[in-house]
Each structure stands twice: as structure tokens, then as C-alpha cells.
Amino acid sequence: MRGKIKSEAELMDRLLLRASEVAVMIGLGKSKTYALIAAGEIPSVRLSKGAIRVSADALRRWIDDLQGEKEPSKSGAKTVDSSELAQSSRRL
């Protein structure tokens, strides 16, 4: 990321965010964030060959969608996503 690190509020005021800024905001490493963008998990916009940005609104919706998918069950059971399930089944 160029320049000094901006606060989360300053970043969310912008319409488009760099992948490195998204990584800071969601608490993931840059490599994982870039991989999620490349896989289409995090919605992005290609401005030019080397310029990929994430809409601040799309990022909010993506996070909201994730929270909706991982609502804890009323029984108190842990919610497990399919990737966790696949990893645990490989260990057996």
C-alpha cells in the first residue's frame, strides 16, 4: 500500500479499495485476499491490466453475506463450512 496507512473509516469513505487495503480491513494477509479476489469470492472490478479494485459497498455486502451464512445455531453447535469439512475428512 502506498503512503501512510489510513483508518478504516477513511478507507470506507472511498468508493474503490486496493486489495492490500481490503486485506487490512478484513484482517487477512495480502496473499489470501488476492486469492479470494482471483477466485471471485470477493467481488472486484478490473480497471486496467494491473489495477483491480474492490467496491466498498460490495465488500460490506460480502461481509454481511458471510455473517448470514455463519449464524450460530440455536443449539450452540459450531457452524462448519465446507472447506473445514473437507480438510477434516482428509485427515481421517
Residue 55, pLDDT above cutoff 90:
yes
Return the CATH number at 48: 1.10.10
Domain contains 57: yes
- Count the domains in the chain: 1
Domain contains 26: yes
Give the domain extent around 9.
1-61
Q: How many CB atoms lie within 10 A of CB 35?
A: 13
| pLDDT at 21 (0 to 100) | 92
Give residues with Cβ within 8 angstroms of 30, minimum separation 6: 19, 20, 23
Mean pLDDT computed over 36-41: 94
| pLDDT at 20 (0 to 100) | 93
Place of cell 495480502: 30
Mean pLDDT computed over 14-31: 92
Domain contains 80: no
Domain contains 2: yes
Domain contains 14: yes
Domain contains 34: yes
pTM of full prediction above 0.85: no
Domain contains 69: no
Domain contains 46: yes
H helix runs in 14-79, sequence order: 19-26, 30-38, 56-69
